[in-house]
C-alpha cells in the first residue's frame, strides 16, 4: 500500500534550566511524502477454537519528512530542520510499524475469536486444495 503523504501540526515548548534561563514555544509542521506500507499476515489455525493472526513481515518506508518550525526562535530551529527530520525518520518508521503490528494482532485475534467456524471452513478448503495439487503433481 502506498500513501501520498500526511501533514500535521505539533505545538512545542522548550525550557532550559541552566543559567541564563532560556525558554521558547511555538509550533511545528510535520509533513511526510511517499509513504509505503507492507504487511504479510498469516492465520494460524492449528487450534480451530482459538485461531491467531501472525505477522510474518511488516515494513514502513517514508520517502521524505519535512519539518518546519513557527514562532519563537523558529528561524534558528529551521536551520537544522532537515537534519532533525532525517534523524527522526528511522525512529518514526520503527515506532509506527511496531504499533501497527501490535494493533493488527490484537484486533485481528479479537475478530477471529468470534468466527471459529469460518476458520474450520477455510482450513477444509486449504486441505482440499493441497490434496488436488499433490494429485496433479503425481500425474
Those residues with Cβ within 8 angstroms of residue 82's Cβ, 6 or more apart along the chain or in another chain: 67
Read off the CATH number of the domain in which 133 is found. 3.15.10.10
Residue 69 has pLDDT above 50, yes or no: yes
pTM of the model: 0.59
Give the mean model confidence (pLDDT) for residues 90-111: 90
Number of domains in the chain: 1
Instruction: Find the range with the poorest average confidence among 3-7, 59-63, 73-77, 112-116.
Output: 3-7
- Between 114 and 84, the higher pLDDT residue: 84
Q: How buried is 130 (Cβ within 10 angstroms: 0-12 exposed, 13-18 middle, 19+ buried)?
A: exposed
Q: Which domain holds residue 56?
A: 2-138
Determine phi and psi for 114, rounding to 5 degrees: -85, -10
Which CA distances in Å does 99 have to 12, 92, 95, 104, 119? 24, 11, 6, 9, 26
Amino acid at each position: 500500500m502506498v500513501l501520498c503523504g500526511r501533514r500535521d501540526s505539533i505545538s512545542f515548548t522548550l525550557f532550559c534550566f541552566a543559567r541564563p534561563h532560556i525558554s521558547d514555544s511555538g509550533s511545528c509542521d510535520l509533513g511526510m511524502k511517499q509513504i509505503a506500507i507492507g504487511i504479510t499476515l498469516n492465520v494460524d489455525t492449528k487450534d480451530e477454537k482459538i485461531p491467531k493472526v501472525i505477522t510474518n513481515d511488516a515494513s514502513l518506508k517514508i520517502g521524505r519528512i519535512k519539518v518546519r518550525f513557527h514562532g519563537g526562535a523558529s528561524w534558528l530551529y529551521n536551520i537544522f530542520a532537515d537534519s532533525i527530520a532525517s534523524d527522526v525518520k528511522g525512529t518514526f518508521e520503527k515506532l509506527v510499524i511496531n504499533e501497527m503490528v501490535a494493533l493488527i494482532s490484537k484486533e485481528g485475534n479479537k475478530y477471529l475469536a468470534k468466527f471459529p467456524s469460518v476458520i474450520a471452513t477455510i482450513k477444509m478448503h486449504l486441505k482440499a486444495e493441497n490434496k488436488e495439487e499433490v494429485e496433479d503433481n503425481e500425474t
